[in-house]
Structure 1
Amino acid sequence: MSGKKQELPVSDKPLATVESPMTETIKKKKKKKSKHSEETQEVEVPQEVTNGEELSNKEKKKKKKRKREENEMENKKKKETDKVPEDSGVSNGGESEQKVVVTGKDVEEAKYAALTSFAESKLPENVLDCCKTFQKPSPIQSHSWPFLLDGRDLIGIAKTGSGKTLAFGIPAIMHMLKKNKKGKGTRNPTCLVLSPTRELAVQISDVLSEAGEPCGLKSICVYGGSSKRPQINAIRSGVDIVIGTPGRLRDLIDSNELRLSDVSFVVLDEADRMLDMGFEEPVRFILSKTNKGKWLRNQQLIATWPMEVHKLAQEFMDPNPVKVVIGSVDLAANHDVLQIIEVLDDRARDQRLVALLEKYHKSQKNRVLVFALYKVEADRLERFLQTRGWKAVSIHGNKAQSERTRSLALFKEGSCPLLVATDVAARGLDIPDVEVVINYSFPLTTEDYVHRIGRTGRAGKKGVAHTFFTQQNKGLAGELVNVLREAKQVVPADLLKFGTHVKKKESKLYGPHFKEIAADAPKAKKITFADSDDED
């Protein structure tokens, strides 16, 4: 249940004994394993060895020993260097071994070859300063940078924690350095990043602010639930990059405090999520205010690809965008997460939650994230847990941004390592050491389930996701079974009782999705039938 690798027991007995009539027995080495290190006792070798065959055996054993020690040192170094931040560089999840599919016009040209190192990009040192702690570009970066740096429109699809922010961030910085003519007075932004949630916007802003600082680029993050005045003052002082949520961006545009006429590099991060939350109209409005003269060369889209996103891209992107898919477009969960599904009655969830916390959070020091479906439910769970002695905080859409920021800070720093959240934290929470996710309520879509449990098992670590599944969720049983089977997880018999039928993919607002349309598919042609009185 802990998700840790099982270690084989080590015997104190020698593996073999080699005897010779002319020498004493050669004593085999013994290994003594501790939690963090391995000590090796040296082999005792007799002084006299006259048998040639025995001498040969001795040399072979020495070579094997040296080889084993070299391998152990290499593995140790690899583990140390692989401990990298999640949002850039090398992913520990084995993503480099995943299937990579690149489609679009002229994608096989030599200039678009995937990068194998940062040096191959030939970018300035100050631009790559934010990548200095990473060994090489992550797969989404190595395959997308050549296209984005060449001004191509791109749809990038990769799992969470794969370095997507710098995948569009580095090309955005280069675009701005080429475009911006820095001078005195107010500067309008050149780059715009749209995000569906405040938490994700802040996370993107942190990465881009750090990346742009060595290049002298200023960024600002704007979102609702907080005072406009500091955001307006920052915009008036001049900014290069604006990261924000659709609602607040539109407010600032309507009040003439934000002008996007110079924006020629646009990013829609988690575009499917934005449209699913009902932001299509404000997104269209915001995009219409950007530099349409340069639109076809400079709009970038980083998101998953359901049908409504395809329609938006058809309207605002180049007719032949590049599409880079790392892994599979099929719904799949992180394989480093142990998924436990428990089918139970609604009324049993409260006591079962307490029992799981006593199991997973007994020390009240490790980080545990509890997901609720509704804001009211999150508030109730927070009070319920607090009255039973648990130190818990919550975040959801009804809380002021200052409260959400404070709760998240307490969770990150470990002062209050038990967080109750709605799906606002399903995609915007980037904390590598969340050990356990508990889904008190199953989400409205299986995609949200995959994103929720992806909050644990990050940066190469193992995680546990314990989920309550009730009668009300039976319509999603088939999709959940597929996710479990793909990740080689146990499918409980009680879940199979609901059936394995998979409904057509359905959006919360737009209804069912049909067959996905390829990014480079030709547009449909209008067919006109002439009127005729002829009979067949």
Structure 2
Amino acid sequence: MSFDKLNLISPIREALKTEGYTEPTLIQEQAIPPLLEGKDLIGCAQTGTGKTAAFAIPILQLLSEEQRNLKAPRIIKALIITPTRELAIQIGESFTAYGQYLGLKNTVIFGGVTQKPQTDALKAGVDILVATPGRLLDLINQKFICLRQVKFFVLDEADRMLDMGFINDVKKIISHLPKTRQTMLFSATMPPEITKLVNSITIDPVRVAVTPISSTVDIIEQAVYFVGKKDKKLLLIHLLQDKAIASALVFSRTKHGANKIIKDLAKADIQAAAIHGNKSQGARQLALNNFKAKKTRVLVATDIAARGIDVEELSHVINYDLPNIPETYVHRIGRTGRAGLGGVALSFCDTEEKPYLKDIQKLIAKSIPVIEDHPYPLIETEPADSKAATKKAPVGKPGPVGYFRRRTRH
């Protein structure tokens, strides 16, 4: 299917063509028609499925169809709430791109920076507001923002909102919205509290599910290295010396761990940048922009900071620390293998992380191949019965990176 068959107005079709879009993704194909009809929608879709365009395009078209009095001040008609600064910025950029020929105005607000430029933009008037919960509530309380005229409300990454403790803030924000509105909620998973929220804020919603969380993208090559905790830094340096790894997003469980990885790589003359919650917004955006522009080959991130990172042709994701929540693994490796391109996901697993690996393999319903031929194998210290269980793990072909080279992008 082409975008021409989705009954989009010509300015949006032209913008999509300018941006290089030719065919809608599955979630765009399923979500755009009912949203253009004004229906509420619940989208279950993980990162990389194209969900931003799935809600941005209909909102832009519906707003453009209203006859706005050009002499009247702009008021907030569409509100998009998202959990992180990076994701908010990315969504704002998408609205700007898709609506470049429409004359609508959007702005992005988030915490961690001075509020004056944001309040100045609000005073000048906006049609579409993209916001993180904390700063949005703060500016509502300061009377800079009124949401009583909002017609379109999007709650993006709802499960991550829950993980980050924003759910009560979200409920407070919803209380400021008019009862009559079109509501769209997107979430990779639907835990009970999110399901309860969905039922309370939507009316007879259309439900769209794309790429269930338990199914990792088939074109992503996956492998695991069993390695001692203290040897992980040596294994990472060893792998990154292979230029077949054109770009790598390395996941650390903690901010402190991310900083330590950066220092270890620097000692080995491998340039890398970190992105996590303790970094200033400017530093985070600079690191992300340099990574996207391929000025930086390695980006080290925590899960929360990485939410919203969308990098074209990312060749490798490396799980320096395995996540203790199996769904997080799927989110992480979904950063590569986008737009039909191949990708590689490598994971380091120490003795304490073996239960995490077991949970991950149960969720994705497949065994992840083990790479045994590397210089820093795990020295087992568990009881014999634990060792016997470990031997049952699948064994991959030898070679730390070469095993995947045929599928690696340059």
Change (3 A) 1:454 1:472: same
The aligned amino acid for 2:272 is: A
Residue 468 (1) aligns with residue 353 (2): no
Displacement of 1:168: 0.7
2:258 alignment counterpart: 378
Change (3 A) 1:492 1:355: closer
Residue 240 (1) aligns with residue 240 (2): no
In 2, distance between residues paired with 1:352 and 1:420? 15
In 2, distance between residues paired with 1:258 and 1:477? 46
SS of structure 1 residue aligned to 2:357: helix
In 2, distance between residues paired with 1:154 and 1:491? 41
2:298 alignment counterpart: 418
In 2, distance between residues paired with 1:118 and 1:346? 49
1:497 alignment counterpart: 389
Residue 191 (1) aligns with residue 70 (2): no
In 2, distance between residues paired with 1:476 and 1:221? 37
* Contact 2:361 2:368 (C-alpha < 8 Å) held by counterparts: no
Residue 263 (1) aligns with residue 155 (2): no
Displacement of 1:484: 5.5
SS of structure 2 residue aligned to 1:215: coil
Change (3 A) 1:415 1:138: closer
**2:282 corresponds to which of 402, 413, 416:** 402
Displacement of 1:361: 6.2
1:316 alignment counterpart: 201
* Contact 2:148 2:178 (C-alpha < 8 Å) held by counterparts: yes
In 2, distance between residues paired with 1:202 and 1:388? 33
Residue 345 (1) aligns with residue 228 (2): yes
In 2, distance between residues paired with 1:147 and 1:134? 21
The aligned amino acid for 2:251 is: F
Q: Which has the larger radius of gyration?
A: 1
What is the TM-score of this pair, normalised by structure 1? 0.66
* Contact 2:322 2:357 (C-alpha < 8 Å) held by counterparts: no
Displacement of 1:122: 2.8
**2:15 corresponds to which of 127, 130, 150:** 130
Displacement of 1:161: 2.3
RMSD of aligned C-alpha atoms?
Answer: 2.3
* Contact 2:40 2:183 (C-alpha < 8 Å) held by counterparts: yes
Residue 171 (1) aligns with residue 58 (2): yes
In 2, distance between residues paired with 1:412 and 1:346? 30
Displacement of 1:404: 0.3
Gaps of 5+ in 2: 373-385, 393-410
Displacement of 1:496: 8.8
In 2, distance between residues paired with 1:266 and 1:218? 16
Displacement of 1:190: 0.6
Matches within 5 A, 1:96-107: none
* Contact 2:110 2:131 (C-alpha < 8 Å) held by counterparts: yes
SS of structure 2 residue aligned to 1:187: coil
**1:431 corresponds to which of 299, 311, 321:** 311
* Contact 1:426 1:451 (C-alpha < 8 Å) held by counterparts: no
2:216 alignment counterpart: 333
In 1, distance between residues paired with 2:301 and 2:130? 23
1:480 alignment counterpart: 360
Displacement of 1:387: 2.2
In 2, distance between residues paired with 1:398 and 1:495? 39
1:119 alignment counterpart: 4
Residue 142 (1) aligns with residue 29 (2): yes
* Contact 1:360 1:436 (C-alpha < 8 Å) held by counterparts: no
The aligned amino acid for 1:402 is: G
**2:331 corresponds to which of 436, 447, 451:** 451
Displacement of 1:153: 0.8
**1:205 corresponds to which of 87, 92, 95:** 92
Change (3 A) 1:335 1:496: farther
Residue 254 (1) aligns with residue 141 (2): yes
Displacement of 1:180: 5.9
For residues 422-466 of structure 1, the C-alpha deviation after alignment (integer angstroms, 9 at most, x for no partner) is 113543111112211111111231111111111222222221111
In 2, distance between residues paired with 1:179 and 1:279? 33
The aligned amino acid for 1:465 is: A
Change (3 A) 1:470 1:255: same
In 1, distance between residues paired with 2:387 and 2:100? 51
1:57 alignment counterpart: none
* Contact 2:48 2:338 (C-alpha < 8 Å) held by counterparts: yes
In 1, distance between residues paired with 2:112 and 2:309? 18
**1:158 corresponds to which of 26, 32, 45:** 45
* Contact 2:213 2:330 (C-alpha < 8 Å) held by counterparts: no
Change (3 A) 1:240 1:185: same
1:81 alignment counterpart: none
SS of structure 1 residue aligned to 2:348: strand
In 2, distance between residues paired with 1:165 and 1:496? 46
Gaps of 5+ in 1: 1-115, 501-536
Displacement of 1:314: 1.3
**1:357 corresponds to which of 240, 248, 264:** 240
* Contact 2:312 2:338 (C-alpha < 8 Å) held by counterparts: yes
Number of matched pairs: 376
Displacement of 1:130: 2.6
In 1, distance between residues paired with 2:165 and 2:391? 31
In 2, distance between residues paired with 1:288 and 1:180? 28
The aligned amino acid for 2:183 is: Q
SS of structure 2 residue aligned to 1:459: helix
* Contact 1:194 1:245 (C-alpha < 8 Å) held by counterparts: yes
Residue 303 (1) aligns with residue 187 (2): yes
* Contact 2:220 2:345 (C-alpha < 8 Å) held by counterparts: yes
The aligned amino acid for 2:232 is: R
